[in-house]
Amino acid sequence: MADLSFRSALLKKDRHTCQNIISSTLSGTQLVQFLNDLIFISVSTVKNRDAGIHPVCVINSIKNFISDDRNHPSKVLLEFAVNYLFECDFRENDQSILDETVKDGIGQTAFLGDLENACQSGTWIEAESLAAKTFLASDQSRGTMDALAELALQDVYRNGLFVFHILRAYHFQESKKDTWAFTKCLLDQIAGDDLQDAHDPEDQNPEEIWEVMIKRGDLTLFAAVERLWKGDYVRIRGYQRELSYWVSQVTLVEKEKIKPNPNHWLTDHDSKKFISCAERIVMNEKTQKEKATELVTLEAVRSLSKNANEQQIGILGSRLNQLLS
């Protein structure tokens, strides 16, 4: 049931149809398609600087929570995902950009280097045209998207969280017909901002600051950096170059010492408890923006806790309580 009709209902903001689909029994391939459509809509949203965290980070986090109990997908989280996306505006010209590019002729000089130069110089109208050309010239592969991701990581602080989630969201299905939406989303994310120059690689990696980051650092960003570093990407050397520079620049102010919470539910090592916590977050009397931020924070702790020892899990539990208070 969760096929193209669900994607269409999302785009039309047809709440009744979406609710009926959520109320049905979602499992197996139907659940996968349902989640994939949510992800597609999240990367099709119009950039909104006031919204805080990008919707793809939120929807990919919810997808990860759902994966902890695929046989009983949380309807509370799925309903929140739909309602959250309905508050966004959606791009309507993605396909027309490609159609115009085909009509004008792809040309002989559609190289990624030209696109990178246009982005670096801030000529965004030209960058959009070149992105469409390189995308079509590459047989609509993910190459253009990956190049834009590397450019975005020249500013890890601003874009690291977004880049991790959009790449993981794409990896969920890697549907070729959706690749342009992801590519356009990445371009829109960096458009209008002054890009930093590419950095020289540093002989440092996230593992070296793991302990101090879970005690005092930005958990959401660090969890994204750590997973990007370990990822299997064609451009991993470029990603790691920029991530290593970010690691080398991390400076943390000494704060009040965090006392581990040995009785926190994280110490139970029960992944389904993340679902329960996520449900409590979305049912709280808070703004959608606050809920979105807390869901992404929870997903970051979910990731970090997988490689933490008991004391570190206690610290993560204490910090999670602070961040969700």
- Residue 108 is predicted with a pLDDT of 54
Q: What is the pLDDT of residues 231-270, one digit of tens each?
A: 999 999 999 999 999 999 998 877 778 899 999 999 999 9
Q: Using 50, 70 and 90 to split pLDDT, how confident is the model at 208?
A: very high
- Per DSSP, helices labelled H in 153-287 are 156-171, 179-190, 210-216, 219-230, 236-249, 272-283
CA angle 276, 279, 284 (to 5 degrees): 130
What pLDDT, on a 0 to 100 scale, did the predictor assign at position 105? 77
Range with lowest mean pLDDT among 29-33, 101-105, 140-144, 193-197:
101-105
| Section 40-47 average pLDDT | 97
CA distance 259 to 253: 17
What residues contact 222, with CB distance under 8 A and at least 6 apart? 206, 209, 213, 214, 300, 304
CB 313 within 8 A of CB 304: no
With cut-offs at 50, 70 and 90, classify the pLDDT of residue 1: very low
Tokens of residue 71, six digits: 């046989």
pTM: 0.95
Q: Delimit the domains of the chain by residue range.
A: 4-86, 94-190, 206-249, 265-324
Of 162, 171, 223, 224, the C-alpha closest to 190 is 162
Residue range 20-44: mean pLDDT, rounded: 95
What are the beta bridge partners of residue 209? none
What pairs with residue 90 in β-bridges?
Answer: 45
The amino acid occupying position 205 is N
Dig out the tokens for 203 from the structure: 């002989």
85-108, pLDDT tens digit by residue? 999 999 999 999 999 999 887 655
Residue 321: count other Cβ atoms within 10 Å of its Cβ.
Answer: 12
pLDDT tens-digit profile of 172-199?
A: 988 999 999 999 999 999 998 899 999 9
Sequence-distant (≥ 6) Cβ neighbours of residue 270 within 8 angstroms:
none
Q: What's the sign of the alpha-carbon dihedral 320, 322, 324, 325?
A: positive
Pair 171, 216: CB distance under 8 Å: no
The residue with tokens 């990919």 is 60
For the beta carbon of residue 179, count every other beta carbon within 10 angstroms.
19
User: Residue 25: CB partners within 8 Å, gap ≥ 6?
Assistant: none
d(CA 140, CA 96): 15
Of 135, 311, 163, give the one whose Cα is nearest residue 223. Answer: 163
Residue 204 identity (one-letter amino acid): Q
